[in-house]
Chain A
Amino acid sequence: QQQVKQSPQSLIVQKGGISIINCAYENTAFDYFPWYQQFPGKGPALLIAIRPDVSEKKEGRFTISFNKSAKQFSLHIMDSQPGDSATYFCAASQAQKLVFGQGTRLTINP
Protein backbone atom coordinates (compact mmCIF):
# COMPACT_ATOMS: atom_id res chain seq x y z
CA GLN A 1 0.00 0.00 0.00
CA GLN A 2 1.47 3.28 -1.11
CA GLN A 3 1.35 5.66 1.82
CA VAL A 4 3.21 8.72 0.49
CA LYS A 5 2.44 10.01 -3.00
CA GLN A 6 4.91 12.36 -4.63
CA SER A 7 4.54 14.51 -7.72
CA PRO A 8 5.69 15.32 -10.28
CA GLN A 9 7.89 12.41 -11.33
CA SER A 10 10.18 14.76 -13.21
CA LEU A 11 10.57 18.51 -13.29
CA ILE A 12 12.58 20.90 -15.43
CA VAL A 13 13.16 24.42 -14.17
CA GLN A 14 15.20 27.27 -15.53
CA LYS A 15 18.11 28.56 -13.50
CA GLY A 16 16.90 31.13 -11.01
CA GLY A 17 13.35 29.77 -10.99
CA ILE A 18 11.36 28.15 -8.21
CA SER A 19 11.16 24.36 -8.04
CA ILE A 20 8.10 22.94 -6.30
CA ILE A 21 7.61 19.28 -5.39
CA ASN A 22 4.49 18.02 -3.67
CA CYS A 23 3.69 15.09 -1.41
CA ALA A 24 0.50 13.74 0.12
CA TYR A 25 0.04 11.16 2.83
CA GLU A 26 -2.79 9.15 4.34
CA ASN A 27 -1.58 8.02 7.75
CA THR A 28 -2.26 10.66 10.41
CA ALA A 29 0.15 8.87 12.75
CA PHE A 30 3.13 10.21 10.79
CA ASP A 31 4.99 12.71 12.97
CA TYR A 32 8.09 13.69 11.04
CA PHE A 33 8.41 14.72 7.40
CA PRO A 34 11.91 14.94 5.88
CA TRP A 35 13.08 15.66 2.38
CA TYR A 36 16.11 13.90 0.95
CA GLN A 37 18.34 14.80 -1.98
CA GLN A 38 20.03 12.02 -3.93
CA PHE A 39 22.69 12.36 -6.60
CA PRO A 40 23.40 9.48 -9.02
CA GLY A 41 25.39 6.72 -7.36
CA LYS A 42 25.06 8.26 -3.92
CA GLY A 43 22.92 7.68 -0.88
CA PRO A 44 20.09 10.02 0.10
CA ALA A 45 21.15 13.05 2.11
CA LEU A 46 18.81 14.82 4.51
CA LEU A 47 17.94 18.25 3.15
CA ILE A 48 15.31 19.66 5.48
CA ALA A 49 12.59 18.27 7.73
CA ILE A 50 9.44 19.42 9.52
CA ARG A 51 7.15 18.33 12.34
CA PRO A 52 3.35 18.59 11.92
CA ASP A 53 3.01 21.29 14.57
CA VAL A 54 4.73 23.77 12.24
CA SER A 55 3.27 25.04 8.95
CA GLU A 56 6.49 26.20 7.35
CA LYS A 57 10.22 25.77 7.77
CA LYS A 58 12.90 27.58 5.84
CA GLU A 59 16.61 26.81 5.55
CA GLY A 60 18.46 28.93 3.04
CA ARG A 61 16.89 28.46 -0.38
CA PHE A 62 14.84 25.46 0.76
CA THR A 63 11.37 25.76 2.32
CA ILE A 64 8.91 23.11 3.45
CA SER A 65 5.23 24.06 3.52
CA PHE A 66 3.03 21.76 5.57
CA ASN A 67 -0.76 21.54 5.50
CA LYS A 68 -1.90 19.19 8.24
CA SER A 69 -5.62 19.33 7.44
CA ALA A 70 -5.00 18.49 3.80
CA LYS A 71 -2.30 15.95 4.69
CA GLN A 72 0.04 17.52 2.18
CA PHE A 73 3.52 18.98 2.26
CA SER A 74 5.77 20.48 -0.34
CA LEU A 75 9.36 21.46 -0.98
CA HIS A 76 10.16 24.81 -2.56
CA ILE A 77 13.64 25.52 -3.90
CA MET A 78 14.12 29.22 -4.52
CA ASP A 79 16.64 30.57 -7.04
CA SER A 80 17.20 27.05 -8.38
CA GLN A 81 20.76 26.32 -9.53
CA PRO A 82 22.20 23.66 -11.87
CA GLY A 83 23.86 22.09 -8.81
CA ASP A 84 20.38 21.40 -7.45
CA SER A 85 19.79 18.89 -10.26
CA ALA A 86 19.17 15.62 -8.43
CA THR A 87 16.39 13.29 -7.37
CA TYR A 88 14.35 14.48 -4.41
CA PHE A 89 12.40 12.21 -2.09
CA CYS A 90 9.83 13.18 0.47
CA ALA A 91 9.33 10.83 3.38
CA ALA A 92 7.18 10.38 6.45
CA SER A 93 8.11 8.70 9.67
CA GLN A 94 6.10 5.85 11.14
CA ALA A 95 7.59 4.40 14.31
CA GLN A 96 11.27 3.90 13.54
CA LYS A 97 10.93 3.63 9.78
CA LEU A 98 10.71 6.11 6.97
CA VAL A 99 8.10 5.75 4.24
CA PHE A 100 9.40 7.33 1.04
CA GLY A 101 7.66 8.88 -1.93
CA GLN A 102 8.55 7.68 -5.40
CA GLY A 103 10.97 10.53 -6.08
CA THR A 104 11.15 13.56 -8.37
CA ARG A 105 13.97 13.93 -10.85
CA LEU A 106 14.75 17.65 -10.93
CA THR A 107 16.74 19.20 -13.76
CA ILE A 108 17.81 22.83 -13.61
CA ASN A 109 18.64 24.23 -17.02
CA PRO A 110 21.43 26.82 -17.08
Chain B
Amino acid sequence: NAGVMQNPRHLVRRRGQEARLRCSPMKGHSHVYWYRQLPEEGLKFMVYLQKENIIDESGMPKERFSAEFPKEGPSILRIQQVVRGDSAAYFCASSPLPDNTEAFFGQGTRLTVV
Protein backbone atom coordinates (compact mmCIF):
# COMPACT_ATOMS: atom_id res chain seq x y z
CA ASN B 1 0.00 0.00 0.00
CA ALA B 2 1.74 3.11 -1.23
CA GLY B 3 1.83 6.07 1.10
CA VAL B 4 0.61 9.57 0.38
CA MET B 5 2.24 10.64 -2.87
CA GLN B 6 3.03 14.25 -3.56
CA ASN B 7 4.51 15.67 -6.71
CA PRO B 8 6.54 17.36 -7.70
CA ARG B 9 8.96 17.09 -4.78
CA HIS B 10 10.62 20.35 -5.73
CA LEU B 11 9.10 23.17 -7.75
CA VAL B 12 10.71 26.43 -8.81
CA ARG B 13 8.53 29.23 -10.09
CA ARG B 14 9.19 32.82 -11.06
CA ARG B 15 7.18 35.55 -9.43
CA GLY B 16 3.80 35.86 -11.13
CA GLN B 17 3.66 32.28 -12.38
CA GLU B 18 1.23 29.61 -11.24
CA ALA B 19 2.15 26.65 -9.04
CA ARG B 20 0.19 23.39 -9.05
CA LEU B 21 0.87 20.89 -6.30
CA ARG B 22 -0.59 17.40 -6.49
CA CYS B 23 -1.45 14.94 -3.76
CA SER B 24 -2.60 11.36 -4.22
CA PRO B 25 -3.98 10.04 -0.92
CA MET B 26 -3.43 6.56 0.39
CA LYS B 27 -5.71 3.90 -1.03
CA GLY B 28 -9.06 3.97 0.73
CA HIS B 29 -8.54 7.48 2.11
CA SER B 30 -11.13 10.02 1.07
CA HIS B 31 -10.09 12.86 3.40
CA VAL B 32 -7.24 15.17 2.43
CA TYR B 33 -5.58 17.96 4.39
CA TRP B 34 -3.05 20.52 3.15
CA TYR B 35 -0.50 22.16 5.44
CA ARG B 36 2.22 24.75 4.82
CA GLN B 37 5.57 24.77 6.60
CA LEU B 38 7.77 27.84 6.54
CA PRO B 39 11.48 27.38 7.31
CA GLU B 40 12.14 26.65 10.98
CA GLU B 41 8.42 26.69 11.79
CA GLY B 42 5.69 24.20 12.49
CA LEU B 43 3.05 23.20 10.00
CA LYS B 44 0.06 25.48 9.51
CA PHE B 45 -3.31 24.10 8.45
CA MET B 46 -4.60 25.35 5.13
CA VAL B 47 -7.58 23.31 3.95
CA TYR B 48 -9.51 20.08 4.52
CA LEU B 49 -11.26 18.38 1.62
CA GLN B 50 -13.33 15.31 1.02
CA LYS B 51 -14.04 13.99 -2.45
CA GLU B 52 -15.52 16.88 -4.48
CA ASN B 53 -16.07 19.01 -1.36
CA ILE B 54 -14.13 21.65 0.55
CA ILE B 55 -14.99 21.12 4.22
CA ASP B 56 -12.77 23.66 5.97
CA GLU B 57 -10.66 26.29 4.21
CA SER B 58 -10.14 28.52 7.23
CA GLY B 59 -6.35 28.43 6.80
CA MET B 60 -6.27 29.34 3.14
CA PRO B 61 -5.19 32.85 2.14
CA LYS B 62 -8.19 34.68 0.71
CA GLU B 63 -6.57 35.39 -2.63
CA ARG B 64 -4.50 33.41 -5.14
CA PHE B 65 -4.86 30.05 -3.35
CA SER B 66 -7.39 27.36 -4.22
CA ALA B 67 -7.74 23.63 -3.66
CA GLU B 68 -9.78 20.83 -5.11
CA PHE B 69 -10.22 17.10 -4.67
CA PRO B 70 -12.10 15.78 -7.69
CA LYS B 71 -14.01 12.53 -7.86
CA GLU B 72 -11.19 11.06 -9.94
CA GLY B 73 -7.55 11.97 -9.65
CA PRO B 74 -5.36 13.67 -7.08
CA SER B 75 -6.06 16.64 -4.90
CA ILE B 76 -4.60 19.86 -6.32
CA LEU B 77 -3.38 22.91 -4.44
CA ARG B 78 -3.13 25.81 -6.84
CA ILE B 79 -1.29 29.05 -6.20
CA GLN B 80 -1.75 31.78 -8.75
CA GLN B 81 0.64 34.67 -9.32
CA VAL B 82 3.17 33.35 -6.83
CA VAL B 83 5.21 35.74 -4.69
CA ARG B 84 8.45 35.14 -2.78
CA GLY B 85 6.52 34.75 0.46
CA ASP B 86 4.85 31.63 -0.95
CA SER B 87 8.19 29.80 -0.79
CA ALA B 88 7.63 26.98 1.67
CA ALA B 89 7.15 23.25 2.00
CA TYR B 90 3.58 22.17 1.33
CA PHE B 91 2.46 18.91 2.90
CA CYS B 92 -0.57 16.86 2.17
CA ALA B 93 -2.04 14.34 4.61
CA SER B 94 -4.81 11.81 4.09
CA SER B 95 -7.01 9.80 6.41
CA PRO B 96 -9.73 7.17 6.06
CA LEU B 97 -11.97 8.87 8.62
CA PRO B 98 -13.40 12.38 8.97
CA ASP B 99 -10.86 13.18 11.65
CA ASN B 100 -7.08 13.26 11.67
CA THR B 101 -6.25 10.57 14.18
CA GLU B 102 -4.99 8.28 11.43
CA ALA B 103 -3.66 10.94 9.11
CA PHE B 104 -0.52 10.09 7.15
CA PHE B 105 1.64 12.79 5.61
CA GLY B 106 3.33 12.84 2.24
CA GLN B 107 6.93 13.92 1.75
CA GLY B 108 5.92 17.39 0.71
CA THR B 109 6.49 19.73 -2.20
CA ARG B 110 9.15 22.34 -1.69
CA LEU B 111 8.17 25.45 -3.58
CA THR B 112 10.79 28.08 -4.31
CA VAL B 113 9.74 31.36 -5.86
CA VAL B 114 12.55 33.25 -7.55
Contact = CB atoms under 8 A, between A and B. Distances in A.
Q: Do A and B bind each other?
A: yes
A97 B100 contact: yes
Given A97-B45, A100-B42, A101-B42, A43 B100 contact: no
B108 A43 contact: yes
Interface in B1-34: 4, 6, 31, 33
Given A44-B91, A102-B42, A96 B56 contact: yes
Interface of B: 4, 6, 31, 33, 35, 40-45, 48, 55-56, 58-59, 91, 98-101, 103-108
A49 interface: yes
21 contacts: A32-B99, A41-B107, A43-B91, A43-B107, A44-B91, A44-B105, A46-B104, A49-B101, A89-B43, A93-B100, A93-B101, A96-B31, A96-B33, A96-B55, A96-B100, A97-B59, A99-B45, A100-B35, A100-B43, A102-B42, A103-B41
A97 B40 CA distance: 21
Interface residues of A, number: 23
Interface of A: 4, 6, 32, 34, 36, 41-46, 49, 89, 93, 95-103
A43 B35 CA distance: 11
Nearest to A34: B101
Given A45-B105, A93-B99, A93-B101, A6 B42 contact: yes
A99 B56 CA distance: 14
